[in-house]
Structure 1
Amino acid sequence: MALFNDCIEVRRAQLVTDDYGKHRDWDNQTVVWSGMGAGVPYRRAWKAEESTRETALNRATLYLPGNVAVDSSDRILFQGNTWHPEGEAWKWKLGSRQYTMIQVKLVTK
């Protein structure tokens, strides 16, 4: 098990409705969880074919202590970047301890 020595924040924004429909109000986001966790970035970034896209996709697995409620629309601050969850968080126990595992992605240029 990796050491829990990475600062991680889970941020959430309310769904608001305006003249253009519904969207997340990221200007008024709130921190729903903040603490020390373990982040394991994958070694290589996947890069799309350069003729069609100019971005790279990085992925990581984050481990948080406790039963953390993470929504698929949340944003996660890790290593100074804003990551996006992929799928649902996975809750698991190891003896009397509880953990939350999240697969996240980061799109960069």
Structure 2
Amino acid sequence: MALFNDFIEVRRSPLIEDPYGHHRDWTTYTVVWSGLGAGVPYLRSHKAETPVRETTTNKATLYLPGSLAVDSSDQILFQDKLWTPEGEPWKWKLGARQYTMIHVRGVTK
């Protein structure tokens, strides 16, 4: 496992309502957790299959110390990019230590 030397920040925003419906207001997010963790980006990136969507999807696995409650609507700052969680966080113990593993994906243009 990599050393815990990557700065990672978990952000959460309130759900607001406007004339278009409900959405997250990311201008008023709060930091749920920040600190050093281990991030392992996957070597491969996936490009959109249709030429109409000019995006690339990257994936990574993040290891954070402690037992964290990460929500599927949170955003995670890692490597100066915003990532979104995929699936449920996996919590595990190694002796007396606790860790949280999160699969994340990031979309770039």
TM-score (norm 2): 0.95
Tell me the percent identity: 71
What count of residue pairs does the alignment treat as equivalent? 109
Q: Flag structure 1 segments of 5+ consecutive residues without an equivalent.
A: none
Give the Cα–Cα distance (whole angstroms) in 2 for the partners of residues 17 and 56 of structure 1: 30
How many angstroms does 1:54 deviate by? Answer: 1.1
How many angstroms does 1:50 deviate by? Answer: 5.0
Q: Which residue of 2 aligns with 1:79?
A: 79
Question: Matched residue of 2:22: which SS?
Answer: strand
How many angstroms does 1:88 deviate by? Answer: 1.1
After superposition, the CA RMSD in angstroms is 1.0
Question: Matched residue of 2:87: which SS?
Answer: coil
Q: Which residue of 1 aligns with 2:103?
A: 103
Q: Which residue of 2 aligns with 1:44?
A: 44
* Runs of 4+ more than 3 Å apart: none
TM-score (norm 1): 0.95
Q: Flag structure 2 segments of 5+ consecutive residues without an equivalent.
A: none
Question: Matched residue of 1:72: which SS?
Answer: coil
Question: Matched residue of 1:27: which SS?
Answer: helix
